[in-house]
Amino acid sequence: DAGITQSPRHKVTETGTPVTLRCHQTENHRYMYWYRQDPGHGLRLIHYSYGVKDTDKGEVSDGYSVSRSKTEDFLLTLESATSSQTSVYFCAIRGGLAGSYEQYFGPGTRLTVT
Amino acid sequence: AQKVTQAQTEISVVEKEDVTLDCVYETRDTTYYLFWYKQPPSGELVFLIRRNSFDEQNEISGRYSWNFQKSTSSFNFTITASQVVDSAVYFCALSTDRGAQKLVFGQGTRLTINP
């Protein structure tokens, strides 16, 4: 158990509204990631963070922003949600021992934009 | 650009059969990392294995084994004597950035083990 929680776990929102998803970790990992999972696409990286206030874009970052003001929290914001952002969102940490490269995932957030 | 292809979208076998899930990757980098993840029907993602590009040793863990072949850019996963609990979606992934470790995933293979 990598100590990762995501909130909310499910959310239904309307097109055009802002949405913020939260990822919380308890083990002081430096790297945190946000992915989205869609049928036929596997998982795709949205943004990642390599430290407090240090973030960078991933493959599908358009329409998303992130913030990391504390080591333990990584927030994903959809400024104005669109139906194409209906997806399952997974947070991950790069965990384990120093030099470890594997990522461990949170339970996911199912977001539906109507 | 990096790419991972899992050509088998769905596989269905009868319990106790052996099954191999294929993974082919593309990258121009000489240093890279390959991963397999399992996503059972409950939805969580479970890390199974990581392999570095400079380590072509195959690995066996119980009924699971992995065959890494740089010559064919493949990292295949075999389950021996499959069980119903092996039913899941399996993802192969690649990263080439030693620092950020940005994962590129394949589309996934849905494996169904029938009793």
Residues of B in contact with A108 (CB under 8 A): 43-45
pLDDT value, residue A25: 95
User: Which residue's structure tokens are 């998303």?
Assistant: A64
- B43 and A88 within 8 Å at the Cβ level: the answer is yes
- Cβ neighbors of A63 (< 8 A, separation 6 or more) are A78, A79, A80, A82, A85
- Percent of chain A exceeding pLDDT 90 equals 86
CB pairs under 8 A between A and B: 57
Task: Kindly state the tokens that stand for B4.
Answer: 């991972």
Interface probe with B: pick from A43, A47, A56, A66, most Cβ of B within 10 Å = A43
The residue among A60, A67, A9 whose CA lies nearest residue B103 is A60
Cβ(B22)–Cβ(B8) below 8 Å: yes
* C-alpha B111: how far from chain center: 12
* Chain A: residue whose CA lies nearest to B47: A104
pLDDT value, residue B76: 97
- For the segment B75-93, the average pLDDT, to the nearest whole number, is 97
| SS3 state of residue B25 | strand
Strand ranges inside chain B, DSSP E: 3-5, 10-14, 19-21, 24-26, 33-39, 46-52, 59-61, 64-69, 74-79, 88-95, 104-105, 109-114
pLDDT above 80: residue A98: no
CA-based nearest distance A108→chain B, Å = 7
What is the average pLDDT score of chain B?
95
- Cβ neighbors of B39 (< 8 A, separation 6 or more) are B45, B46, B88, B89, B90, B91, B108
- Model confidence pLDDT, tens digit, residues A61-83: 999 999 999 999 999 999 999 99
